[in-house]
Structure 1
């Protein structure tokens, strides 16, 4: 199974950052220069950069460029509720539009977050989640394929947590979430029916089973004026 080019670029840039080629707070080369170095189109290069931004590794500064992100304060939260459960608890009707659903090689970040061994694949699912037919967030979820290979696409995309518990016999553990901020790109604007430059809340989440095994890594962008995070202590 061939790895997409944008994932290869993502992995190489991440390695460069880990190897101190680019320091925290340092501006990386412009997209045109990187596209030339990797011998790809700017669209492919931009997809790799956007993935790194979604993961909190890079951050785009309007009118300035793209920089290696500083480490942000991480808030650990306990208690797991799916988007479906949250939406229904607010008296709204949840729905999802699956953009992409495939078994593939994990990116470096997915491999690290999910503690995968060499050769293990992930099920990567891209969705737009809505409440009362209003787009709320765009998310990319990576799940160890071996954990869910016996389940149908409908079971996984409709209610992963219930499927894991009721059909898989697993118990859910805790979740670690990292919250940040961003502005909507042209692609975000089309996906979420917002204006380019509108405020987004970004979330990176690792959800674990009761034995501490990570089973889901999610990167999501929420429309700030349509969704609110509440932290309870």
Structure 2
């Protein structure tokens, strides 16, 4: 029941009631929400008020409208803080989610000109290539390609990275201390393979982050590219105070 004599706007009361149903599990991801007309009739409010309630849910990431089909329950996007360098495993654990990986490829390749230049290693040097599908609570979240030079890390190629965190192994087994990274962020359409692996529609948007990881000794140790689901992630950047003129 709505409090029509109180100070809380009616649309917000409806929005809060719907969010409570989502949090309690009464409404699940993918469920069809009531239409504006149905909400207006159910709560005895105008369609404008019902429209505002649905708009509030969509703005907060809890609903998504599909033309001709209606409005569906969704999960809010995870914010990828690009000013904080953190591996996928640690990031998901910090969010209270269970990380896992599906190892798609772990091979030793020779460095071509671009890769050798990025890693400051000799042309033709041995490099471990990792291709992993990263999951959280069993849901595909990102597709990640990593290239790591093998000369500084003997035996790295024999470790099963379906079960191990790359950064944990580099830190604990090889004493690596990561200092910073150069990253390039793009919004790109998913390839057919990415769509299949990430279980998203063909040509759906992905958040692509290409990076070079540097150690405290200013040595590059990884060249990587991660493709995050556009329906699950958005980039977040905190800008320090500067003089604005």
Q: Assess same fold via TM > 0.5.
A: yes
Deviation (angstroms), 1:216: 0.5
2-structure distance, mates of 1:156, 1:215: 20
Where do 1:77-226 residues align within 5 Å? 79-151=84-156, 152-154=158-160, 158-226=164-232
1:229 aligned counterpart, secondary structure: strand
Going from structure 1 to structure 2, the CA distance change for 1:156 and 1:164 (only over 3 Å counts) comes to farther
Higher helix share: 1
1-structure distance, mates of 2:147, 2:139: 24
C-alpha contact (below 8 Å) 2:112/2:124 kept by paired residues: no
Gaps of 5+ in 2: 1-81, 240-245
2-structure distance, mates of 1:105, 1:92: 36
Please tell me whether residue 231 in structure 1 is matched to residue 237 in structure 2: yes
Deviation (angstroms), 1:127: 0.8
2-structure distance, mates of 1:128, 1:196: 17
Deviation (angstroms), 1:165: 1.5
**Residue in 1 aligned with 2:48?**
none
Going from structure 1 to structure 2, the CA distance change for 1:179 and 1:157 (only over 3 Å counts) comes to farther
2-structure distance, mates of 1:181, 1:221: 9
Deviation (angstroms), 1:189: 1.1
Per-residue CA deviation, residues 163-214 of structure 1 (Å, 9 max, x unaligned), is 1111112222111111001111211111111110111111101101101100
C-alpha contact (below 8 Å) 2:101/2:162 kept by paired residues: no
Q: Please identify the structure whose Cα radius of gyration is greater.
A: 2
1:146 aligned counterpart, secondary structure: coil
Gaps of 5+ in 1: 1-76
1-structure distance, mates of 2:207, 2:113: 23
1:149 aligned counterpart, secondary structure: coil
RMSD: 1.8
Deviation (angstroms), 1:79: 4.3
1-structure distance, mates of 2:204, 2:116: 31
2-structure distance, mates of 1:100, 1:160: 14
1:154 aligned counterpart, secondary structure: coil
